[in-house]
Amino acid sequence: MTRHERQRPGFGIRASIASAAARLMAEDGITDFHLAKRKAARQLGLPEHTAFPDNAEVEAELRAYRSLYQGEDHAEMLLALRQTALDLLELLAPFNPYLTGSVLDGTAGEHSRIDILLFADSAKEVEIFLLNRGIDVEHAEPRSERVEAVLVMETDTADANLVIMPPHLERVALKFRDGRPRERIRADALRLLLAE
């Protein structure tokens, strides 16, 4: 963060909200950034029209919080989540899977889910594939009109969101609501990450 950014009007308030929101996400298991920011602002006694930090600022604070207060325990948990994610990427290889979300970016906590993007002709195809392997899934509400379905499956480590999209969207750069590109990696890149 540059000195110029720190001198912007409202920076101290935004930083306070980001820090408090990160703490709420880490300690209370809140996964919705906007909800965490609203609760943080309320806890800080700020008016409702206060400008919130963006999600990237909260993510940076969340990484710092986990590193400072959860250190080794968080590193072990993240390793277990990423190993489970690799197993899922290998299992779901016929559907061009990618790991994305908090398990990839390192902000995952004990309440996080493993987010896997799948590209299939139909959600039914994925469901049948899993049922044929004795894996039960539940349906969750998609948050985007681009998503055909979200299947939730249990693993020994955490629940996994299998986000199913049409194959033609695999080459499209997906973005977060705040416009930042959504990082995603395949099994080979995750193996390298686990080897670090």
Rounded to whole angstroms, how far apart are CA atoms 17 and 174? 27
Q: Does residue 79 share a domain with residue 109?
A: yes
108 lies in some domain = yes
Each residue's pLDDT tens digit, 66-115: 878 777 888 898 999 999 999 999 999 999 999 999 899 888 888 889 99
- Structural domain of residue 85, as residue ranges? 73-195
Tell me the CB-side half-sphere exposure of residue 109, using CA atoms within 13 A. Answer: 21
Q: Does residue 89 share a domain with residue 49?
A: no
Task: Classify strands 114-119 and 160-165 as parallel, antiparallel or unpaired.
Answer: parallel
| Ramachandran angles phi, psi of 2, nearest 5° | -85, 160
44 lies in some domain = yes
Instruction: Quote the pTM value.
Output: 0.75
CATH number of residue 108's parent domain = 3.30.460
Reading the block at residue 105, the tokens are: 């970016």
Rounded to whole angstroms, how far apart are CA atoms 90 and 105? 20
